[in-house]
Structure 1
Amino acid sequence: MHRNICVTFANAAAMLALVLTGCSPDEAKNSSSTAPSNAPAPTSVPAAPPATALPAPEVLTDVLSRLADPAVPGVDKLGLVEGSNQETAAALDRFTTAARDGGYLPMTFVAKDIVWSDKNPSDVLATVVVTTANPERREFTFPMEFTRVQGGWQLSKRTAETLLALQKSGTSTASASPSPTPVSPVPPASSSESSPAPAPSPSQTPPG
């Protein structure tokens, strides 16, 4: 279980980096190979960031802390994830259960390098450092996206879906692992096999 969750979170870091840039490795390769070398670089006007201030780091980490709290049921976390529904609630419960069983709880979060998203100007990107209770995987870092909601912030839908999909993949891999074939015990030897055969009686020679 520890190994599967470690793989899950490690994969999340790599996949989230691709998701948040909006392309896959194959798309990046194809676009670089098909673009003519002498074509002028396209010019784009970046969207203007909102006039409001960026959220404080603790505002974002409060969202993550509540999501990782196993004492809070999934239905009470729906307001923390963009576009969430009852399936999201069940997935969040599975996520915290897996983290608890893997020895990762409690978790603490630090958000840094907070910037406005260049894809969705009203969203923010942050580098999140996660510290866990698991001594084998004490700390890891990956990018996350947050979206504004009335009165606060919530985890973006694509970030949440990526994390939950990876957790589900790791759990199903663990459950699909074949169990070792039990070794049948060797039956005890029967009394006829273990007892030595009686020695032959000595032949008697008749007197001469």
Structure 2
Amino acid sequence: MTQHRITSLDALTALYPNPIVPASIAKEIDHVDANYAALIAASPFFVLATNGPGGLDCSPRGDQPGFVTVADAKTLLIPDRRGNNRLDSLKNILFDPRIGMLFLVPGYGETLRVNGVAVLSDDPELCARFEMAGKLPACVTVVTVESVYFQCSRAVVRAGLWNPQTHVAKGAVPSAGTILRDITARDAAVETFDGEAYDKALPERVKATLY
């Protein structure tokens, strides 16, 4: 494998001799226009990429469509909903404000990529804008947009992402409880996790703690 390692830009570009399609460049702009705002409003899910002292992190974010607010063409507002309190993404933003976002819209082939810089705010008035089920977010991530563009549908089509026939059947992959049980079982100093009880309680716990 070492002898085939790609180590230079020339070597890399030689593998992709076809010219860049003009649309691939034209689609990128430095703000959120009406079309890109419509995609963000329709998206219930995005992946947030950050960088910090411990390295890179990629974290899911989801809520009802429109939970990410387009405040203006250069500003996005993201409420931080309840999670596991690891705070990986938020701690990274304090260290390095650069972020990347990948929005998905169920049933829609293209994805939307947004890059920018972020700050965290616990402004009471700002948090109050995102009340849900009587709960306020602990903070809001304020993103200054630097680039926005859609990604073509090839990856989604190849994956069959929105095709119900390709969805994994329950039990076909390890459950959260199984994963926790097997990891803790490897450490003699840690009491083995009751994975079955965890899986049994998980659906109701998720439902009760969404916000």
Is TM (by shorter chain) over 0.5?
A: no
When the two structures are superposed, what TM-score results if normalisation uses the length of structure 1? 0.22
Q: Whose strand fraction is larger, Structure 1's or Structure 2's?
A: 2
Bigger Cα Rg: 1
